[in-house]
Structure 1
Amino acid sequence: MTARTAVSLRHARVRYGPLEALHGVTLTAPGPGLTVLLGRNGSGRTTVLRALAGTVPLADGSVVWDGTDVTRVPAYERARRGLVLVPERRAVFGSLTVRENLDLAAATPDPALDAYPELAPLLPRRAGTLSGGEQRMLALSRALLARARVVLVDEPAQGMSPTVAARTYELLATLDACVVVAEQRLPPALHSRTAIVYELRRGAVVFSGEAAELRHRREKR
């Protein structure tokens, strides 16, 4: 990526039937760089990722990518333009082998295996038989191989050991892409990093700033 990129929600509202999940959320995720969406289950962080990816429609507001309104651009077209969504569940093709999953993303799996050497002995295994942490590594490897401009990940380190989780955040933080991750709590690996943080509560943004600012604010309470 030769130029900076950014994705934004502007006054976004999302409804699931009669329930409104996002109440006019406005946020911007610049790139290259890492943006973290924090919040408990039901806070709206996963819905923000889906809204950015186009997998849920907006009831009101807009999605802007590089200054262009893409609210009505379907999810598959956003993917063609370089956006990758790694959901919390069903992020791999369970009936395919690990190698076949990687082959769908790139001609060679070498960069993925460099990032996650733990996957090398698992290449002939069907993805559906892997542990939760192994499936997360595989799903993230496919995103790394895609060389996307925008990477959206829901709980990237779920099921991983602390060592692999730290490595995962190191990889995400150094990607030449706009990276947005959703987590319940600020991961320890990000405590010493510069990252933009948005905290959501009941479908609304209650904090926006840098990770260090959020830590300082919480320490004062």
Structure 2
Amino acid sequence: MTVVSLRRARVRYGPLEALHGVTLAAAGPGLTVLLGRNGSGRTTALRALAGTVPLSGGAVVWDGVDVTGVPAYERARRGLCLVPERQAVFGSLTVRENLALASPDPAAALDAYPLLRPLLERRAGTLSGGEQRVLAVSRALTARARVVLVDEPVQGMSPSVAARTYALLASLDACVVVAEQRFPPALRGRPAVVYELRRGAVVFAGEAGELDRPGGSPGPS
């Protein structure tokens, strides 16, 4: 089992504090969902786990080891894959070249997303927003990472492709953490741990099934 966690994590952007002592844990194989409106801190929490923003307080712990001071590139070498909301592909490279950065054989990515096959020789920067998102997620699926962090994975995708994307992420043999504004309908009925953030603090932590119970968090609306 792999576990990554934030422990009383604080992150500042200049004079503003984006995370106010956030504690959360994500275990894998399994799926963890971070919910929150824009400005809630969900993206910052992902970036803190990945090491792309420094903590001003608290710690990042991975399998019992404090990795707070470990740079992002070293966390990537150890098996962490971050798919940011923006600039998640290399626009000047072709789709085939983008896929090769994650795996020398694109077969698994093309099996997951056949729509990429006719786009292999296209430069990624010429793809639509949804197609770029598919490419970015497909790289994460084939990277064989131990920890996969994805910010708004299905942005711009059609409903059918979005549903397939969540099914693929949920089936990964990895610790998968996704950040969304609302709990994805495609994940209803699937086991998942949910954290809801508001204004940089955790206001709900529990199983996905608790969201539908009286008193459960309804998530952002």
Distance (whole Å) between structure 2 residues aligned to residue 215 and residue 132 of structure 1: 32
Q: Aligned pair 1:17/2:14, yes or no? A: yes
Q: 2:212 aligns with which of 180, 202, 215?
A: 215
1:138 matched to which residue of 2?
Answer: 135
2:168 matched to which residue of 1?
Answer: 171
Deviation at 1:144, TM superposition (A): 1.3
Deviation at 1:107, TM superposition (A): 1.1
2:45 matched to which residue of 1?
Answer: 48
2:97 matched to which residue of 1?
Answer: 100
Distance (whole Å) between structure 1 residues aligned to residue 19 and residue 147 of structure 2: 21
* Identity in percent: 80
- Count of equivalent residues: 218
Q: Aligned pair 1:200/2:197, yes or no? A: yes
The one-letter amino acid paired with 2:21 is G
Instruction: Please report the RMSD computed on the Cα atoms of aligned residues, expressed in angstroms.
Output: 1.2
The one-letter amino acid paired with 2:105 is T
Deviation at 1:220, TM superposition (A): 9.3
Distance (whole Å) between structure 2 residues aligned to residue 125 and residue 140 of structure 1: 17
Distance (whole Å) between structure 1 residues aligned to residue 216 and residue 14 of structure 2: 39
Structure 2 gaps of 5+ residues are: none
Moved more, 136-145 or 63-72: 136-145
Q: Aligned pair 1:74/2:65, yes or no? A: no
The one-letter amino acid paired with 1:25 is V
Deviation at 1:28, TM superposition (A): 0.2
- CA separation of 1:186 and 1:218: change in aligned 2, threshold 3 A: farther
Normalised to the residue count of structure 1, the TM-score between the two structures is 0.97
- CA separation of 1:219 and 1:83: change in aligned 2, threshold 3 A: closer
Distance (whole Å) between structure 1 residues aligned to residue 217 and residue 125 of structure 2: 45
SS at match of 1:198: strand
- CA separation of 1:97 and 1:29: change in aligned 2, threshold 3 A: same
Contact 2:211-2:217 within 8 A present in 1 as well: no
Deviation at 1:47, TM superposition (A): 0.1
- CA separation of 1:124 and 1:42: change in aligned 2, threshold 3 A: same
Deviations 1:70-110 (A, max 9, x none): 00000000000000000000000001110010111111100
- CA separation of 1:217 and 1:41: change in aligned 2, threshold 3 A: farther
Taking the TM superposition and a 5 Å limit, the aligned residue runs for 1:145-164 are: 145-164=142-161
Distance (whole Å) between structure 1 residues aligned to residue 46 and residue 21 of structure 2: 15
Runs of 4+ deviating beyond 3 Å = 217-221
Deviation at 1:217, TM superposition (A): 3.7
Normalised to the residue count of structure 2, the TM-score between the two structures is 0.97
